[in-house]
A and B are shown apart, each in its own frame.
Chain A
């Protein structure tokens, strides 16, 4: 079964750091671009980072310089290192597989990140 499972969410103080992980199974992880998308409670979807098969990375301005996406193909794993966290980063974070022309066809169940003192 093709599956993505996120972990690593939790409560962190403003200014703190957190590392999210996404374990992939059921497909050739190294062959796909991968992404992180977040959703604040009751709000819409926001793309927060992407990484290509060659390790090239992409970020929106809202997280550039604070978040870092990486992958470890030998472990079929995707990561999101989040630094200098703010209250506005509070959200459910999803990892997603890029299918074609940027469409995300496989999503994890999400992991909740709460930034609060």
Chain B
């Protein structure tokens, strides 16, 4: 199985900060990497697919980059509604696996 490791596991940031979350895979994924946002008690929401494609309706402050084994989710200017947990997911090979999550908290 492909192991997905996110860093950091949690971070504290302020509104308008630039935030970067990293996801590393145990083997190459090409660009088969997606990012989700999840708020407490809610289902995950797709933000980025295929490493860098912005899902329809998602604000442009979210962006994704990377290929192979190293990927990044960037929030260019953190907004109050962005405080949540973020997960990466690989869909290069089954079983599809998720990172352990990164919790973004208010500083």
Known: A44-B87, A108-B43, A110-B43. A61 touches B32 (CB 8 A): no
Residue of A nearest to B49 (CB): A103
Chain B positions 89 through 106: 1 when the CB is less than 8 Å from some CB of chain A, otherwise 0: 101001111111100000
Contacting B at CB under 8 A, from A93-117, are 94, 99-105, 107-110
Option from A60, A101, A105 in Cβ contact (under 8 Å) with B95: A60
Q: Chain B: interface secondary structure?
A: loop
The tally of residues in B whose CB lies under 8 Å from a CB in A reads: 24
Residue of B nearest to A105 (CB): B46
Option from B44, B99, B100, B101 in Cβ contact (under 8 Å) with A104: B44
| Interface size classification for chain A | 20 to 34
Q: How distant is the Cα of A60 from the Cα of B98 in the complex, in angstroms?
A: 12
Interface membership of A87, Cβ < 8 A = no
Q: List residues of B whose CB falls within 8 A of some A CB.
A: 1, 31-32, 34, 36, 38, 43-46, 49-50, 55, 87, 89, 91, 94-101
Q: How distant is the Cα of A104 from the Cα of B96 in the complex, in angstroms?
A: 11
Q: How distant is the Cα of A29 from the Cα of B89 in the complex, in angstroms?
A: 23
Q: Which residues of B contact A37 (CB under 8 A)?
A: 44
